[in-house]
Amino acid sequence: MKLLRFFTAGNVDDGKSTLIGRLLYDSKSISTDIIETLTKQSKSTGVDTDIDLALLTDGLRAEREQGITIDVAYKYFTTDKRKFIIADTPGHAQYTRNMFTGASNTDLAIILIDARNGITEQTKRHSIITGTLAIPHILICVNKMDLVDFDENVFENIKAEYLKFAEPLGLKKVSFIPVSALAGDNVVNKSEKLEWYKGTTLFDFLENVEIEHEETTKKSRFQVQYVIRPQTDELHDYRGYAGSVLSGSFEKGDKIFIYPLDSQTTIEKIEKNGIEVTEAHAGEPIIIHLSDDLDVSRGSTMVQINDSIQNDNNLEATICWMDNKSFQEGQKLIFQQNSFTSKAVIKEVIGKINIHSYLNEESDGHIQLNELCKVHIKTAENVSYDSYKTNRKTGAFILINENTNNTVAAGVII
């Protein structure tokens, strides 16, 4: 069964949590005991309905009391056709880092727009981050259509305005659905009040949207997570390299190149779940055995001999600063890409990206919390990578403060 990862974003009070709650409730993806609990809790929220559907994704009681969703709330559900992982991200501008985190590994972005307010600065911010992260599919849900009398012109005007704004962002696929999350119109059930709309409901869209998991068709990439050497009497000469296939596929007998060793060898054997197999594909955890005895270590990257990869210690990237403390020039960092790590420094802040207009701004050398910047990073060791837009698995990374071990930034290689 295929898995679809998606996230929701929008202004505060645009109805993100209510939309996901309605989706889960009307699709009968909530157990009876949870419904009973939510019904009791809803009595204290003052909602007009019997159950406050927003409580399904509003994580902690303290957050509910503040009236905002601070962190990224994850929900999981399954239908007859698909498994789903939902990340409900915050709407406040000061939580850009949370959205960047929640969106980084998803296949689909749902951006909510309040039909009364149209496109806002937050809509633009969310769309720019979505474009930066190269999310394969964008769905614009124009919510609260009941508050504009289900007017087709309101929907069409928002659609036209959004497409005009989004044109320079390079978004891959954009779709639009008019909904009323509170009343349930066009969420799971088709709305008679939106008879002018000939498209699918949100639920049908999510079950049937074709999201090609591009890592299966990309160049073959494997990164070592662990070197297995039992050194027992029974397995005296055993040496296997465990990890997941990041993209593409590998077969027994493939000639491969290993970085940073700059060495060529052949795959002698592939193990999967303790059983020898002839091939392995993207996303599968495997153990690779090589025909040559090489000094391969954690973080080493294996590629098919004809599938070239960049290998350099000077990187240009877009980062989102996540630390409460601003960037300090010369700050000692650790660059981490999957299981590969290297000491690193940000040599130059090339410029800042205005997350409301997508315009490049001159750098003042500083990076504050939630800012998006283009930077030049120098690592102590060469990094094996593809540009993020070419391969999301090898083009993404995080930066860690070497002294505090805090993650200070997440980024994508340009």
Q: Which pair of tokens denotes residue 239?
A: 């040496």
227 within 8 A of 238, measured Cβ to Cβ: no
Q: What is the pLDDT of residue 96?
A: 65
147-203 confidence digits (pLDDT tens): 999 999 999 999 999 999 988 888 889 999 999 988 889 999 999 999 999 999 999
**CATH topology for the 2-212 domain:** Rossmann fold (3.40.50)
Instruction: Give the whole-angstrom CA distance, residue 361 versus residue 281.
Output: 42
Where in the sequence of the chain do the CATH 2.40.30.10 domains occur? 216-304, 310-413
Instruction: Give the whole-angstrom CA distance, residue 163 versus residue 230.
Output: 57
Neighbours of 62 (CB within 10 A): 8
Q: Which pair of tokens denotes residue 28?
A: 């009968």
Q: Where does 216-304 sit in CATH, by number?
A: 2.40.30.10
Q: Which of 38-47, 100-109, 133-142 has the highest mean pLDDT?
A: 133-142
Q: What percent of the chain has pLDDT over 90?
A: 50
- The string over 182-202, giving b where at least 16 C-beta atoms fall within 10 Å of a residue's C-beta and e elsewhere, is bebbbbbeebeebeebeebbb
215 within 8 A of 391, measured Cβ to Cβ: yes
Comparison of pLDDT for 194 and 231, the residue scoring more: 194
**Cα angle value 224/227/233 (rounded, 5°):** 155
Cα radius of gyration (the chain)? 24
Query: What single string gives the DSSP state of each residue in 203-236?
Result: HHHHHH-----GGGTS--EEE--EEE----STTT
Q: Which pair of tokens denotes residue 125?
A: 């911010």
Helix, strand, or coil (residue 42): helix
Closest CA to 216 of 22, 45, 392, 346: 392
Q: Which pair of tokens denotes residue 244?
A: 């997941």
Instruction: Give the whole-angstrom CA distance, residue 89 versus residue 345.
Output: 30
CA distances to 95, 184, 198, 199, 399 from 202, in Å: 26, 10, 13, 9, 36
CATH class of 310-413: mainly beta
CA distances to 57, 66, 74 from 60, in Å: 9, 10, 12
Instruction: Report the predicted TM-score, pTM, of the whole model to 2 decimal places.
Output: 0.81
232-263 confidence digits (pLDDT tens): 666 667 889 999 999 999 999 999 999 998 89
The amino acid that residue 374 corresponds to is K
Average pLDDT in the 32-51 region? 57
Instruction: Give the whole-angstrom CA distance, residue 76 versus residue 85.
Output: 5
Question: What is the distance of C-alpha 158 from the center of its chain?
Answer: 26
Q: Residue 290 contacts by C-beta under 8 Å, 6 or more apart in sequence?
A: 239, 241, 265, 266, 267, 268, 296
7 within 8 A of 91, measured Cβ to Cβ: no
Comparison of pLDDT for 249 and 62, the residue scoring more: 249
The H or E element that residue 154 is part of is helix 152-166
141 within 8 A of 19, measured Cβ to Cβ: yes
Question: First-to-last CA distance in the chain?
Answer: 33
Where in the sequence of the chain do the CATH 3.40.50.300 domains occur? 2-212
Q: What is the pLDDT of residue 216?
A: 62
Q: What is the pLDDT of residue 66?
A: 46
Instruction: Give the whole-angstrom CA distance, residue 26 versus residue 56.
Output: 13
The amino acid that residue 41 corresponds to is Q
**pLDDT of residue 226 exceeding 90:** yes
The H or E element that residue 343 is part of is strand 340-353
354-379 confidence digits (pLDDT tens): 877 777 888 888 898 888 899 999 99
Pairing of the two strands 2-9 and 108-114: parallel
Q: What is the pLDDT of residue 51?
A: 58
Q: Which pair of tokens denotes residue 298?
A: 């954690």
